Structure 1
């Protein structure tokens, strides 16, 4: 058999030349694609958003943003395809936005499942002094007076800014428990309002506030030490199908066990445009794979509150420390793109 040596040589050269290109395409399935990413207005969600952003860049994607948005405009934008994703969904808290996004976007994977708590806290000294157990105790004149920091005759509650999912539940609670004439929900910027509450606590004043975990607040004001989770009089939610999840056992620093916090425990999850996921199977696979411990988010939030605000560096360091898991996630994403 005779071989055409020039043709064989040309073919070999072509194969050698394309091999690195094929490997590159496999390693960098996002090459040439830009992801328009959003992030929440609460800065406690920025750390894991940055982790996801850096992982997407390792797959070759160019990340535009993240752009910071309130819940309503994000869910509308991701449904319309103006944004591709964020990793700051809180469900079931954000179920109220499902009618806005469910026809164009979807939940995929989970940053952290369960353990993301919400509720009301009171300084421990006030719990002991006044025997505070539930929000209903704020109907008592002596309790209202002790928590009235602006002199309007109402107990001041650090609540949630307009547009946050927690604002819906807090407003519902104000009516459900008949607290409109007893409690003043403060809806200014949350971080500034909480900083003011922490300063008041340090000055010996009584404080009432809403918070969630993971959050720097429970590092600054530790439940069971500085403050206590208090209960609601009874579970009353806009969506009562979630009622069973609003009472939990083993909540450290609660006035009772089980503890009726009045908010269901949440999963922190990515939400992405469905058409974008169809076109980018590597992204969908990555979102399905990644999981970040709440303890890691809590640790970064505490450091950020202490002034260590280089989130890009903190995310990069976390990725480096968890390289084995990260490489497994990236391998799954690359395999999905083949």
Structure 2
């Protein structure tokens, strides 16, 4: 027998031998009594897992809008993402002009946006509703997202100020030579490169001109703001005049720099509209000190439908507590101006801001969860 086959046979015999032992010996022997095994505590059924806590926004859809100026996208994406942390399903914010937004908000086409400038937008919110009352009966501002974070006004080039010696808009418009200097289309009126159609600032400028009887000597040019600003920038580069509306936080004041290239153009406090006589703290970057710029420094806040807020106390709590530093928006505005202007890039910047500010955000989320 060769060795390998012998080993195989031995293995078979051993296997059968083991089986025989396992099956017992002679039939007459008394079978061994095997004690019942003790129950294994580990085998007892585990308790049912605790159900996951329900988020207050689960099953609720939110329709957001945002202003039709790209710098506002950043804070709207932040608000969208924080609402999603509460379980809400939030639409991509839809771009819309303020004059169109507030009627749509009041009738429930939108639930909210984070693009409100109360001093500019209150006249729009208080507009007459087709079904009676005003839009403010059904919508309101909420929170103080950026408290006094927004400066607005007209910038005028320093060489023109030095040439004509005016310190206020009224003095400029009382000087026919200065009016002619800023008349870019030859119609006898100084041209103010102003706001987009439907923006709140458009109405403030036009109403201020009308209140003071200046609309026979000055007119606001309304078009896409970025295009108007580019026109003013080109005029300045060529040695021409600048009379341009701007706001902060944006990148515009990094291109025509107050105090270096231009000054904020003051207006006498009594010549402003009601509530627009606040002082802007801009130091010597204004034609007059103290500096009243036609616009009181404004909060930037959320506006929301009242029925939505009442039905969603968690969202209302978050929006009431939510705050941002205007500097963060300004930094993002510079990034947008430098080319990081896609929706994906701005949304990613919003996510980064949230990740870097959890120490502020987590208490807001906890309060919202408690409210919901």
Question: Could you say which TM-score interval applies, normalised by the shorter chain?
Answer: 0.7 to 0.9
Which of 195, 198, 202 is the equivalent residue of 1:160?
195
Distance, in Å, in 2 between the alignment partners of 1:171 and 1:281 is 39
The reply to whether residue 255 of structure 1 matches residue 287 of structure 2 is yes
Using the TM superposition, give the Cα deviation of residue 157 of structure 1 relative to its aligned residue in structure 2, in angstroms. 0.9
Using the TM superposition, give the Cα deviation of residue 198 of structure 1 relative to its aligned residue in structure 2, in angstroms. 1.4
Distance, in Å, in 1 between the alignment partners of 2:357 and 2:235 is 39
Aligned to 1:318: 353
Unaligned runs of 5+ in 2: 1-43, 127-133
Using the TM superposition, give the Cα deviation of residue 265 of structure 1 relative to its aligned residue in structure 2, in angstroms. 2.1
Unaligned runs of 5+ in 1: 1-8
SS at match of 1:114: strand
The reply to whether residue 93 of structure 1 matches residue 120 of structure 2 is yes
Which of 295, 309, 327 is the equivalent residue of 1:295?
327
Larger helix proportion, structure 1 or 2? 1
Using the TM superposition, give the Cα deviation of residue 130 of structure 1 relative to its aligned residue in structure 2, in angstroms. 2.1
Deviates more, 1:173-182 or 1:273-282: 173-182
Which of 156, 179, 183 is the equivalent residue of 1:122?
156
- Superposed, which structure 2 residues align to 1:176-325 within 5 Å? 176-238=211-273, 240=274, 242=275, 245-251=277-283, 253-309=285-341, 310-325=345-360
Alignment RMSD (CA, Å): 2.0
Deviates more, 1:181-190 or 1:49-58: 181-190
SS at match of 2:364: helix
Structure 1 pair 218–164 and aligned structure 2 pair: CA distance change class (3 A): same
Aligned to 2:75: 48
Aligned to 1:112: 146
Using the TM superposition, give the Cα deviation of residue 251 of structure 1 relative to its aligned residue in structure 2, in angstroms. 4.4
Distance, in Å, in 1 between the alignment partners of 2:283 and 2:80 is 33
Structure 1 pair 263–68 and aligned structure 2 pair: CA distance change class (3 A): same
Deviations 1:34-74 (A, max 9, x none): 11001111222111111111111222211112111122321
Using the TM superposition, give the Cα deviation of residue 134 of structure 1 relative to its aligned residue in structure 2, in angstroms. 1.1
Q: Is the 8 A contact 1:169 1:237 kept in 2?
A: no
Aligned to 1:21: 52
SS at match of 2:144: coil
Using the TM superposition, give the Cα deviation of residue 117 of structure 1 relative to its aligned residue in structure 2, in angstroms. 1.8
Q: TM-score, normalised by structure 2?
A: 0.80
